[in-house]
Structure 1
Amino acid sequence: MFEVSLLVTALMFGGSVLYAFGFAAFLFTALPAETAGPLIRRAFPHFYLFVLGTAAVAAATAFSTDQISGGILLAIAATTLFARQVLMPAINTATDQGAKSRFKLLHTISVLVTLAHIGAAAYVLLRLSNV
């Protein structure tokens, strides 16, 4: 189970980094904002499901080897569920209503959550690589 946890955590880490720093950034440089925005909006639910699923599987398989890593991965899954079900709809509502300051605040929170997930996953990878 240790190997599964390590590999799934690595998949989550790599996928999150690629999405946050590759895909999203690329879209906004390659497409006009009025095209990139709706495309990102459609992609985010899938991204969150990816993070939620990989974090849950990694957590379930990590607990037998390292309870701290399992707990961190479980926290990633829980906060991803919050981001997908609460934060993302609030961001979309703010966008639809033209509430720019609310959008900026909520978007900043979502970016910080994603960066925290990436940092936490990196920490777990380092912990698991030393087991």
Structure 2
Amino acid sequence: MEILALYDTALLFGGMVLYSAGLAPLLFSTLPAAEAGRVLRVAFPWYYAFCGIVAALGMLAFLFTDLVSAALMAVVALVAVSARQALMPAINAASDSGARSRFRRLHGLSVALNFGQLALIALVLWRLA
């Protein structure tokens, strides 16, 4: 199970870095801002679903080998589900209503949570090293 936990954690870390540091900036540098925003609005629920599912699978794999890492992965999964179900709709509503200040605040929270998740996943990878 340890090798499955390692692969799962590496997949999650790599996928999150690729999406947040690769795809999102690429879209905004190659598409008009409104179009990039529409694409990301469709893509983000899938991103959070990916993060939640992969983190939950990692948590299950770690239950057999490392309870601390299992708990860290559970936190990552819960944050992903919360962001998908609550934060993203709030961000979209703020954007749709033109509430720029609220949008910036919520988007900043989203970015901070994403970095927090990456830090927890990096800690799990460090524990496996």
CA distance in 2, matches of 1:12, 1:97: 33
Match in the other structure for 1:24: 24
| Unaligned stretches of 5+ residues in structure 2 | none
- Measure the CA separation in 1 of the matches of 2:65 and 2:30: 43
Q: Which residue is 2:67 aligned to?
A: 67
TM superposition shift of 1:34: 1.1
* Match in the other structure for 1:117: 117
Determine the C-alpha separation between the residues in 2 that align with 1:21 and 1:75.
22
| Structure-1 residue corresponding to 2:14 | 14
RMSD, aligned CA: 0.6
Alignment map for 1:48-67 (pairs within 5 Å) = 48-67=48-67
CA contact (8 A) 1:69 1:128 kept: no
TM-score (ref. length: structure 2)? 0.98
TM-score, with structure 1 as normaliser = 0.97
What count of residue pairs does the alignment treat as equivalent? 129
Which consecutive unaligned segments of at least 5 residues does structure 1 have? none
User: Match of 2:86?
Assistant: 86
1:44 aligned onto 2:44: yes
> What is the CA–CA distance in structure 2 between the aligned matches of 1:94 and 1:82, rounded to whole Å?
17
Instruction: Give the deviation of 1:63 after TM superposition.
Output: 1.7
How big is the shift at 1:128? Answer: 1.7
Alignment identity in percent?
44
How far has the Cα of 1:68 moved from its partner?
Answer: 0.6
